[in-house]
Each structure stands twice: as C-alpha cells, then as structure tokens.
Amino acid sequence: MNERHHPNWPPQVPKHLTLPETNIFYNAEVSAARFPHKPFIVFYDTPVTFAEFKDETERMAGFLQQECHIKAGDRVLLYMQNSPQWIIAYYGILRANAVVVPVNPMNMSGELAHYVEDSGATTIIAPQCLFANVEPLIGNAPGQGIEHAIVATYSDYVKQPSQIPVPEFVAAPRKTFNIPGVVPWREVLERRIAPGPLTTGPDDLCVMPYTSGTTGKPKGCMHTHRSVMSTLLGGCVWFSAPSDGVYLSMLPFFHVTGMQGGMNSAIFSGATIVVLPRWDREAAALCMQKYRVTAWQSITAMMVDFLSNPKLGEYDLSSLTGARGGGAAMPDAIARKLKSLTGLDYVEGYGMSETIAGTHINPPHRPKPQCLGIPVFDVDSRVIDPVTLQELPQGETGEIIVNAPQVMQGYWRNPKATEEAFIELDGKRFLRTGDLGHIDEDGYFFMTDRLKRMINASGYKVWPAEVEALMYRHPAIHEVCVIGVKDAKRGETVKALVVPAAAHAGTISEQEIIDWSHEQMAAYKAPRIVEFVTSLPKSGSGKILWRKLQEDDAARTAAANEGNGSGASNSSNGSTGGASS
C-alpha cells in the first residue's frame, strides 16, 4: 500500500487485508451453515433462505456437470436481469468448478454472438423473455456455439402476492420451448443431480466480465477467486458490514459494482439482499421502508431520479445508514439533497471491470465530493505521464495506474491487449487504467479526463468503436463517428455524426437511423442523437479525428448556452440539424 496517499485512512480499519485461501463458493457454504433459516434474497416479498440458496446452487451445479458436460475451467454465459436465478446460477456455475461469464441483458443477438465465440462457452443460462436473442445461436456443430440453454422464468420466485409492484416481464407465466438442448430452470432443480467435488482454488479463474478497449470488440477480464475475494471482502471491512445488514440490490449484477457490492459481499457477511431487476424509484423507496434497508449502492442517474420523486417524503427511510456508489461523479446539489433528507454523505468510489470493482473509495468518515477516494487495502496507485511513463508529483494530471490484488490476470486469449494494459514500475506490475486524474494534498484521487475513448452514459461504459462497427451495417451509412456529448440526466450521451451513402442521401432521416440503432444494440449504446454531415475530418494517415469532433460539438453547445443565457447543457440535441430519442 502506498502510505503517502493515506493520511485520512478510516479509523478502526486495518491497512492490510489478509485474504482467505478459499474459493468464492465456500462463502455460500459458510453463510448457509451459520444462518440456514435467514432470508438471503427477498424478491417481490418472496424470501429465499441461505439454506435454500445453497441447495439450489448445488442442484444447478450437478445439472451443469452431468447434463451440460461442464468441466473445471469451462466458461458458462449468464445472461439475465437481477433475480434469485441470477445469483443461484452464478454460484451454481462456481460450484461446478466453472467460470462465470456475465453478459449485459440489454445485448442483442448479434452482440451476444461475440461472447459465445470469444469465450468458447457452449452453455448459457437466460430468462424466457430474452430467449429470442439466444435461439439463433443454438444448434451449431459440437464445440461451436450454444449446445445447452437453461431457461429461467422470473415468476417462479414470486410465490405470493407482493406489495411491491411486479413488472409484467417478471410476472409472466412459464413458457415451453420444444428445442433440443433447451431445458427449463424448474426441471433443472427437480432433477436434483448432486455435483462432484469442489476443486477450485484461489488462483483458478472465477469470473470473466467483458469490457471493451478503445478499439475492437469486448475483451474478457480474467479474474481469479483471489481477486474476486479481494474486493468483496474489502467492501465488507471498509464499510463495517454487519451480518444483520439489509442491502437494496438494484445495480446490475452483470456489472462488477453490483456483483461485488450488491451480491458477493452480502453472501460473505451473511446479510439480506432485497433484489429488484430494474430501476424503479417507487419500488426502491417502498423496499427501503418495508425491509428496513441499511445500505444502498447506486449510480448518479438513480440517485437523481430517486431524490426527484415528489412522493419521497411519504416514505420512512430512517433505516438507511449508508449510501454509496460510483460510475459518474455525484453533483454537489444532489449530494446536498441526500444529506438534507437522510443525514448521509454519498460515498463515492472508483474501479473497473479489470479490477473487479473498487480500487479507490472515499473514507466513510471523511468523503470528498466528486472524488474517486483513496487507494484501499494493499493498493498501490500512482499518477504517471502517459507518454514518458514517469511518475508525476502531487497535483499534476496524468494517467492513473494500479497495482493491487484485485487486478485481473489479463484479457482472455488476447496477449497483445494484455501486454498493452500493463507496465512495470519499481519492480511491480501496474494496470494502466486509461483514466487521467490527479492526487490532491490529502492523498485523494480525482479524475479529470479520459485517456481512452469512452462515453460514460448513466454509469454504463460505451465504446464508440463498437457502436460504429454495428452502425456500419446500415446500408445508408457511408461513414460514421460516435462521440460523447454532455447530458443533464445521463452525464454523457451517445451522438453519431453520419455521412450518408450517396444512394441514400435525402431519402433517409436521422430519426430512422436512431430507431434502427436501437434495434441493433443495447439501448444504452445506441445513439440518442444523430447528425448528418457531408464529411468527417481526418488525419494525414486517414484516421477520423474523433476528438476534434467531440471538442467542436462541446464548443458549439457551450456557445449556444451562453447565447440563450443558460448554463445547462443542451441534452436534447447536440447541434442543429440533429435528431434525438
């Protein structure tokens, strides 16, 4: 740990974290033995105890091993919304000695195909409402594509009338699928197949979340049981998480923040989690009141919406003892509103898929607004010149690098990208985060810009190169450049500058491009704004100058705001002639 960065280390919290030499599934075994009858999951008023949870994970593991022929180290895709099934599937995969590949449920079939091909997975666990995206990938030759699909029905775990409004996709009755290799979740559990021995150790692969770089398709971040243990245990210790805590788990489990803070940490500590599959501010407030929620992890967009609820004063939120999150800096006005309403500071943190969540977190007793926090247990984080790779003094802006037990082993089957992601400094292997920041006089880290080309839309990372690649499938698009523009609600939103193909010029609208994009990719990736242009600026080597386009767009927006006397960003339209959705 880099001691010079930690003058404000939380009191009563050790500076070193000794990690258990066990696999992650062992945490479920321990909590089931300690608290067998205690609710672990509450889903629309239906509880799942720790003992029931462990029993169902073992049934899932046995089926994966015996019927899906999953062996140690095999990858299994997990593609669904937050639900009891998501958590049972995750731990069932681990109990089968396999590796979880979590997939954003907003991804469409074409995007999902990359995960199948790249990971080499032959088995997927998905809900019936997303099965249409899975079906085209089933039935390929052995060893290529999906051979086995376990299809879940969310309503199987809504076993009594709920006071929490149940969305239609959760309440939907079970469907049947007469397709070879496709098995309903209920049948998997009814088979009661016992799994073989649990053989994975701390240095075996555990989970492989995918992330994109500045170019190319998403890459799998290889995390071991040890690296996953690091941030799940670290969160428990940093926030002094008690076994009788109650978490509101609404951040997506496929994302490392929700996975670690909303699920894995709770299993380790023996806490109860109240699970909701999608953001709903009324349902969130009702759950907080009914279940006496003590901790809530969110992103900025959630908190903004939650605090803008005119009926919020009708709910009893007095049980909340902690509000934390990350993804985007929390605006001062929102943080002050939270403080006024609950007396709580919003504690921000920073991490990446490559670090399986937090490497920096604000000290709960002394947080700073719009701040990444300080390096946590056994993390050595520095700021370097991104060109010379020399460490920079306090206060100067450069690239943030991290050496820590939670850092991934590398990118799956991509040695070149792995090599580019790391540097050696003082005999240590540091991950280059691609984020620009500085360290203040108290040792707190602040982000100032991004070295990588990335758009952060409501906490979701959008990689322009991936969006562009999908958009080029449209026959009316000759050239396209995707940039990030400021948005009052999302922080940033996605804008596409499109040069129409000559044959389609004047016959297609910007709104048609937006609508088509929403059909081809996850909603958070799809451009909300499209502007037709006659050409795109290029460098001498022919590369599109995306940064110039982004800066020019920001300058035009700023000038327009000054002209109308408003300091707010124009979130509905990045420039004249565009269309937004």
Q: Which helix (H) or strand (E) holds 510?
A: helix 510-520
Average pLDDT over residues 39-55: 98
Average pLDDT over residues 378-393: 95
The residue whose two tokens read 């690098």 is 401
Task: Quick: pLDDT tens for 439-460.
Answer: 999 999 998 777 777 788 888 8
Q: How high is the pLDDT of residue 387?
A: 86
Strand 322-326's sheet: what is its strand order? 46-49, 39-43, 272-275, 246-249, 295-299, 322-326, 346-352, 357-361, 374-375
User: What does the H/E/C string look like for 282-310?
Assistant: HHHHHHHHHHCCCEEEEEHHHHHHHHCCC
Whole-Å CA distances, 269 to 34, 50, 235, 539? 10, 12, 10, 54
Query: Given pLDDT bands bounded at 50, 70 and 90, which one contains residue 562?
Result: confident
How crowded is the C-beta side of 224, counted as CA atoms within 13 Å?
A: 18
Task: Quick: pLDDT tens for 188-227.
Answer: 999 999 999 999 999 999 999 998 644 468 999 999 999 9
Residues in the chain: 581
Average pLDDT over residues 530-548: 83
The residue whose two tokens read 């775990």 is 157
Q: How far is 109 from 36, CA to CA, in rounded Å?
A: 39
Q: What SS3 class is residue 207?
A: strand
Predicted model pTM: 0.84
239's CB contacts (< 8 A; 6+ apart) are: 295, 322, 324, 364
Average pLDDT over residues 324-353: 89
Q: How high is the pLDDT of residue 505?
A: 84
Buried b (16+ CB within 10 A) or exposed e, 470-509: bbeebebbbbbbbbbbbbeebbbbbbbbbbbeeeeeeebe
Q: Is the CB of residue 276 less than 8 Å from the CB of residue 284? A: yes
Q: How far is 164 from 162, CA to CA, in rounded Å?
A: 5
Domains with residue ranges and CATH for the chain:
24-31+46-200 (3.40.50.980), 455-580 (3.30.300.30)
Higher pLDDT, 539 or 371: 371
Q: Is the CB of residue 143 less than 8 Å from the CB of residue 159? A: no
- Nearest to 560, CA basis, from 541, 542, 574, 580: 574
Q: How far is 5 from 438, CA to CA, in rounded Å?
A: 12
- Residue 560 CA to chain centroid, in angstroms? 34
Q: How far is 114 from 429, CA to CA, in rounded Å?
A: 29
Q: How far is 278 from 292, CA to CA, in rounded Å?
A: 20
Q: How far is 410 from 417, CA to CA, in rounded Å?
A: 8
